Amino acid sequence: MLRMEIPGRRDYTVEFLVLDMNGTLSTDGRISGKVRDKINLLAKRLKVYILTADTRGDAQERLGRINAELVRITEGDEAPQKEQFVRAIGGEKTIAVGNGYNDHLMVQEAALAIAVIGREGAARETISNADVVVNEMIDALDLILKPLRHQATLRK
């Protein structure tokens, strides 16, 4: 569990971290070692889920030693599936991170949402529904890991 205090907003008690895989967590099918390490740090305090349609068919292999649960969704209509997943685990206690159009409902459902632009860019709808937008996945994870960053960025 992670407690996030954001001045001018409410305090958040977060239990879950939901990450989109392709384009957010991985770029061209690769996940950096630094990103793996930071996810494993967060997994000591949060239950981490990684959502994917597994288009390449090798998602579990690509995750390697990341301490997270891989959740495969059906290809086609991914956005409502991701939204339903976040709602089912409890959006009010979830941080969601995504970049694509199919992430826009998921981030809207989450208590705190981060859009990652990355090398693939980010969908306008996902950016609009996010609480904060960052350039890279490592920045999103640091925003969660380092309380002064999210306080400074999200305070009202």
CATH number, domain at 83? 3.40.50.1000
Host H or E run for residue 112: strand 112-116
pLDDT value of position 28: 86
CA 134 to chain centre: 12
Pair of tokens at residue 44: 């000591």
- Write out pLDDT tens, residues 9-49: 888 899 999 999 998 999 888 999 999 999 999 999 999 99
Q: Which domain holds residue 141?
A: 2-154
Q: Return the axis-axis angle of helices 137-145 and 147-154, rounded to nearest 10°.
A: 100
CA atoms within 13 A on the CB side of 49: 19
CA dihedral 32, 37, 39, 43 (to 10 degrees): 160
Q: What is the pLDDT of residue 8?
A: 82
How many angstroms separate the Cα of 113 from the Cα of each of 62, 63, 97, 133, 148?
A: 24, 22, 6, 9, 17
The whole-number pLDDT of residue 154 equals: 84
Q: Are 71 and 86 in contact (CB under 8 A)?
A: no
138 closest CA partner among 120, 114, 121, 155: 114
Q: Which residues of the chain have pLDDT under 50?
A: none
Give the count of domains, the chain. 1
For the record, the structure tokens of 156 come out as 């009202």
Structure-token pair, residue 91: 């959006």
